[in-house]
Structure 1
Amino acid sequence: MTKVFINGEFVDHEEAKVSYEDRGYVFGDGIYEYIRAYDGKLFTVDEHFERFIRSAGEIQLDLGYSAEELIDIVRDLLQVNDIKNGGIYIQATRGVAPRNHSFPTPEVKPVLMAFAKSYDRPYEDLENGINAATVEDIRWLRCDIKSLNLLGNVLAKEYAVKYNASEAIQHRGDTVTEGASSNVYAIKDGAIYTHPVNNYILNGITRRVIKWIAEDYDIPFKEETFTVDFLKNADEVIVSSTSAEVMPVIKIDGESVGNGNVGPITRKLKEGFNKYIETKSK
């Protein structure tokens, strides 16, 4: 029986219930993280919970847990579900209170929930690449917070699916921001370009790993804005996320990227990523 962590204990998934007055349910008033497990170890877990705690601070949410306590929870969750390779979803909401837009007064206890699932790495897509579609970025102006408010991302992803694409690459006006569930990179003349870290994108953990790999291999990593046209004329394009890892994009809006094959810099980044799995998992 699958175990879920909720309100301080591990329960069978059929017993894991959410109140109709939970502010995460009625307002999307909460945050989340998603952590990858490889061979029973948590990958870049310190970085994930550093971001989780930052997101909590940005929405004025006192979690009541330290990073170390949160790491212990997700590690125990892996063990009770006997998961070696997969992912852990964890979220915190502001808690249960009568529906009112302002914060509850007095404060209520946050609701912390986490579950784990087993799955393998996306080997076929990593080897062959995926298709992407471009779409206007209609999300709010605090995309740096990993909040539960993902309707804009959901609509973008559904748009991509309708056009036989695995990811939606979003743009504000002509400026590429990020994917519906990933960061985006254009590789041109041997350099990697990606949107700078600000309120328009989430500072992805895999994005940080790619930056480390670029430094290891002396590949220029340019954190600056670029246009949709620049993206479509890049030599290589990748997207990255905790579940997608370093994912090649071989077509955008039905047109081939570069020569339509996974390129040499992408392959080097994937090689470096495999090395970091060994050194950043614990």
Structure 2
Amino acid sequence: MSDVYLNGEFIDGNLAKISVFDQGFLYGDGIFESFRSVDKKLYQFSSHYQRLLQSAEALSYPVAFTQQQLEDILLELCERNGWNNAYYRITITRGKGQIGFQRDMDNDLTCLIVGREFLGLDDRYYRQGIEVKVAQTRRNAPEAISPKIKSISNLNSLLGKLEAKATGAFEVIMLNNKDHICEGSASNIFWTRDQWVFTPAASTGLLEGVTRATIMRLCEEKLNLRVIAGEFKLQDLQFSDEVFITSTSLEVIPVVKVDGFIINQGQVGPIARRLREELHLDMGTGS
């Protein structure tokens, strides 16, 4: 078992312990953020850190470390475990408390950072593309739960992921309560038509992924493609040339089938392939 970071200490993961009264365990009162390091250098770290602060502010969590301090912790974890390319997750909860909603909300926070060597997916997913299904589970309405909070209380996404597993699909497309395309259970979605790239707008209730923002920038800067963010219906995908999903861990995966509808005659298109190459160049890993 690799070392982890728990409440100010590096410790063997087998020895790490969190109270059964932790408010994250009891109530899902917690936030998380994921990071990647490439050749022991953190990628897009500032954007991920700012999103962590955004989530913390929404739940009135004081963040006990600066961006530089968190970077030092992550890289120390990388060194201790002998990783070169790594994937990390930081989880912060309200800490040990009491049961019942009439409870003190000012506990000492729990902070856990875990990681693993990042090996990536089998290359066949990028060469052959994937199938996605349209989930019956809808995205939480942004008026109910702000999508700006990256919460560990993530049952909505889990239900979507379970639907994907039940149907043998790699991922699902989740709609919002207005029937607009929103995002995947753990990814953002894009599609192309001619020289235009489309993606759902933040107003649909999606989590604005850091990789999503990077892909939007690369489309315009490197591929000279205009990106349009808006509110779209499922039928818009049927007229697309390419569909692909993005995330920190998935990078850019082409989609060749949506609910049985074939995209681009089942062939992986050039834009998804090129964007992944440009993303690797942006990371400093080459093509």
State the TM-score, normalizing by the size of structure 1: 0.93
How much does 1:102 deviate?
5.6
Q: 1:119 corresponds to which residue? A: 118
The verdict on how the C-alpha distance between 1:68 and 1:215 changes in structure 2, with shifts beyond 3 A counting, is: same
Measure, in 1, the Cα distance between the counterparts of 2:173 and 2:45: 26
Q: 1:234 corresponds to which residue? A: 240
Measure, in 2, the Cα distance between the counterparts of 1:133 and 1:258: 17
The verdict on how the C-alpha distance between 1:102 and 1:195 changes in structure 2, with shifts beyond 3 A counting, is: farther
Measure, in 1, the Cα distance between the counterparts of 2:196 and 2:278: 16
How much does 1:39 deviate?
2.2
How much does 1:144 deviate?
2.3
Determine if contact 1:30/1:148 at 8 Å carries over to the other structure.
Answer: yes
Task: Give, as a single letter, the amino acid of the residue that structure 1 aligns with 2:267.
Answer: N
Measure, in 2, the Cα distance between the counterparts of 1:108 and 1:93: 10
How much does 1:174 deviate?
2.3
- 1:179-190 to structure 2, matched below 5 A, reads 179-190=184-195
Secondary structure of the 1:33 match is strand
How much does 1:17 deviate?
1.2
Secondary structure of the 1:19 match is coil
Q: Indicate yes or no: 2:219 matched with 1:214.
A: yes
Higher mean C-alpha deviation, range 191-200 or range 112-121: 191-200
Q: Aligned match of 2:281 in 269, 272, 275?
A: 275
How much does 1:12 deviate?
0.6
How much does 1:128 deviate?
1.9
Q: Aligned match of 1:248 in 254, 260, 263?
A: 254
Secondary structure of the 1:259 match is helix
Task: Give, as a single letter, the amino acid of the residue that structure 2 aligns with 1:130.
Answer: I
Task: Give, as a single letter, the amino acid of the residue that structure 1 aligns with 2:32.
Answer: Y
Determine if contact 1:186/1:231 at 8 Å carries over to the other structure.
Answer: yes
Determine if contact 2:139/2:182 at 8 Å carries over to the other structure.
Answer: no
Measure, in 2, the Cα distance between the counterparts of 1:31 and 1:177: 21
Measure, in 1, the Cα distance between the counterparts of 2:43 and 2:103: 34
Measure, in 2, the Cα distance between the counterparts of 1:108 and 1:228: 45
Deviations 1:215-237 (A, max 9, x none): 21221111111111112331111
Determine if contact 1:134/1:168 at 8 Å carries over to the other structure.
Answer: yes
Q: 1:147 corresponds to which residue? A: 151
How much does 1:119 deviate?
3.1
Q: 2:8 corresponds to which residue? A: 8
Secondary structure of the 1:209 match is helix
Measure, in 1, the Cα distance between the counterparts of 2:10 and 2:78: 11
How much does 1:199 deviate?
6.9
How much does 1:138 deviate?
4.1
Measure, in 1, the Cα distance between the counterparts of 2:31 and 2:102: 17
How much does 1:83 deviate?
0.9
Measure, in 1, the Cα distance between the counterparts of 2:3 and 2:100: 32
Measure, in 1, the Cα distance between the counterparts of 2:104 and 2:256: 48
Determine if contact 1:144/1:198 at 8 Å carries over to the other structure.
Answer: no
Measure, in 2, the Cα distance between the counterparts of 1:16 and 1:87: 19
How much does 1:40 deviate?
2.2
Determine if contact 1:23/1:97 at 8 Å carries over to the other structure.
Answer: yes
How much does 1:140 deviate?
4.9
Determine if contact 2:182/2:204 at 8 Å carries over to the other structure.
Answer: no
Task: Give, as a single letter, the amino acid of the residue that structure 2 aligns with 1:157.
Answer: K
Percentage identity across paired residues of the two chains? 30
Taking only aligned residues, the RMSD between alpha carbons, in angstroms, comes to 1.6
Q: 2:99 corresponds to which residue? A: 99
The verdict on how the C-alpha distance between 1:2 and 1:104 changes in structure 2, with shifts beyond 3 A counting, is: same
Listed as ranges, the gaps of 5+ residues in structure 2 are none
